[in-house]
Structure 1
Amino acid sequence: MHKTNQIAVHLPYLRRFARSLTGSQAAGDAYVVATLEAVSVESKTLAKDLELNAALYKVLLTIWGSVPANRHHHQPGFADTTAKQAADVETITPLPRVCFLLHTVEGFSSDIIAKLVDRPTALVRTLIEEAEKEIATQHRADVLIIEDEAIISMDLEGLVEELGHNVIGIARTRTEAMALATKHKPGLIMADIQLADGSSGLDAVSDILAATEVPVVFITAYPQRLLTGERPEPTFLITKPFQNDVVKAVISQALFFDQRARLGRKMAVPAN
């Protein structure tokens, strides 16, 4: 298989990681484009001691890490109360978060992650444990689940509540989803792509987002269809059948970036 075709096979998953890492489809896809450009200009960019998929992640992380703001814990110089709020939002510092995503969502071993982030394996394991502890103290949210399969919705409900969040309702259709969102004002939405009445979870979420801002995690059995980079697509995506640690990691990322965005908007409002 030609190298270009070999790389293409891994692009959906690279996009998934980059979007989760940055909290944005646009930013994540921009890092993927920069990765592809770096590889096309200099083939030696790909590490020879790694499989192709891991080598691509390493290039992306090298580019991401070249931006100072991505390497360091954010410490804005606000007044005491505001600074504390900022610290609460920035609980999970970059490197533990990176290692946790690489391990739980992307399925890399600690040994491979060590090569991707240029850290000892023992430290990587410690960083993953650190991220897990920090996630356990993260902001709790009211969660709306949009899922038409009863067993899956029950599994999600149990898992979400196990993580300390509150499930405000389960919707099986686009109409039910809008009604529940209007009544309860969720802090997070978890939505399947295909719903019971033939409607789309994407459409249901679009209805809700037209009225309010809320982070969304999509669930699908066919992630490649939503990770093409060719149109507006989900930032946070969980693949069926899902694993508990993946759900934990993706929910954490969605809430992390939502809190940071809210704080940023608050800081942008001039004091009276």
Structure 2
Amino acid sequence: MPGSLSQEIAPHLPYLRRYARALAGSQKSGDAYVRACLQTLVADSSAFDMSNGAKIGLYHLFHVLWNATMIAAPAQDGSVSIFEKTAQQRLSSMTPESRQTLLLSTLEGFKAAEVAHIIGKTEDDVSRLISEAINEIDRQTATQVLIIEDEPLISMDLADIVTSLGHRVTTVARTAAEAVVAARNEKPGLVLADIQLADGSSGIDAVKDILSDFDVPVIFITSFPERLLTGERPEPTFLITKPFDPNTVKAGISQALFFNSTASVAA
């Protein structure tokens, strides 16, 4: 890969990896597709279309590979989670186009014309696919949501988004200790977690303690996504950047619950 091309795409790789994991349902599977994308560029840089900019070209190449190939994820250490098993089963039986389109427009912030170029569809197709994805969100079974967030205005916004989708907020925790106690008192079907909390504690530590008790999908919400998208350790499948668009949070909730067969609990 020419040095100039490498420099062009490097800033976009953490976000492509985030997107790939959300689409595939696991870090290992998503990263396998990103590696294949980079290998294609190394083998033949002429496959890379720069006419609409490096970021759009990178995502477009990723989608060509995603739609054309089935790439096996590397061997897992230990047992595969229930979330990944569920994702594999569901993805094998349905088209991911509507989820791709919603994630590209909300999670990644592409405009409709840019999404159309990336996935090889018309703008009308993009509008239709987004509508289908929103309908999919509306069909999600109601679940209980634990919010770990120390900023009152942000927690209120998240609570409004959660309830607008038909889910119920069990607790808004401002510290890691509060979050762990809340999760043990009333098991959530989904966790929305900030990283830096009021007393200096960590949302990451809270999530680790919660996951040691039971499996639950988690969406991290942070102002500094680069701190978690390093490629040096296990990373969250679902990661939203602050300040967030409400539709981005809705898309993340839909995707997280899509990959989780046990997220639905009594309201």
TM-score, normalised to structure 1's length? 0.84
Aligned counterparts, 1:1-272, within 5 A: 2-67=4-69, 93-259=95-261, 262=262
Distance apart, 1:116 and its partner CA: 1.5
Distance apart, 1:50 and its partner CA: 2.4
* Aligned 8 A contact 1:227 1:233 in 2: yes
Distance apart, 1:23 and its partner CA: 1.2
Query: SS of 1:129's equivalent?
Result: helix
4+ residue runs over 3 A deviation: 89-93
Instruction: For 2:177, give the aligned amino acid.
Output: T
* Aligned 8 A contact 1:92 1:135 in 2: no
Distance apart, 1:62 and its partner CA: 1.4
**Structure 2 residue runs without a partner (length 5+):** 72-86
* Aligned 8 A contact 1:146 1:172 in 2: yes
* Aligned 8 A contact 1:174 1:200 in 2: yes
Cα distance per residue 1:31-54 (max 9 Å; x no partner):
111111111111011124321101
Query: SS of 2:259's equivalent?
Result: helix
Distance apart, 1:68 and its partner CA: 5.9
Question: Within 2, Cα distance between the matches of 1:103 and 1:30?
Answer: 23
Question: Within 2, Cα distance between the matches of 1:92 and 1:184?
Answer: 33
Report how many aligned residue pairs link the two structures. Answer: 245
Query: SS of 1:167's equivalent?
Result: strand
Aligned residue in 1 for 2:80: none
Cα distance per residue 1:64-88 (max 9 Å; x no partner):
112369xxxxxxxxxxxxxxxx9xx
Distance apart, 1:238 and its partner CA: 0.9
Name the structure, 1 or 2, with higher relative contact order (CA <8 Å, separation 6+). Answer: 2
Cα distance per residue 1:144-182 (max 9 Å; x no partner):
000111111111111111111100001111111110000
TM-score, normalised to structure 2's length? 0.86
Query: SS of 2:213's equivalent?
Result: coil
Question: Within 1, Cα distance between the matches of 2:238 and 2:34?
Answer: 16
Question: Within 2, Cα distance between the matches of 1:176 and 1:92?
Answer: 39
Cα distance per residue 1:227-248 (max 9 Å; x no partner):
1212111110111111100000
**Deviation larger for 183-192 or 226-235:** 226-235
**Structure 1 residue runs without a partner (length 5+):** 70-85, 264-272
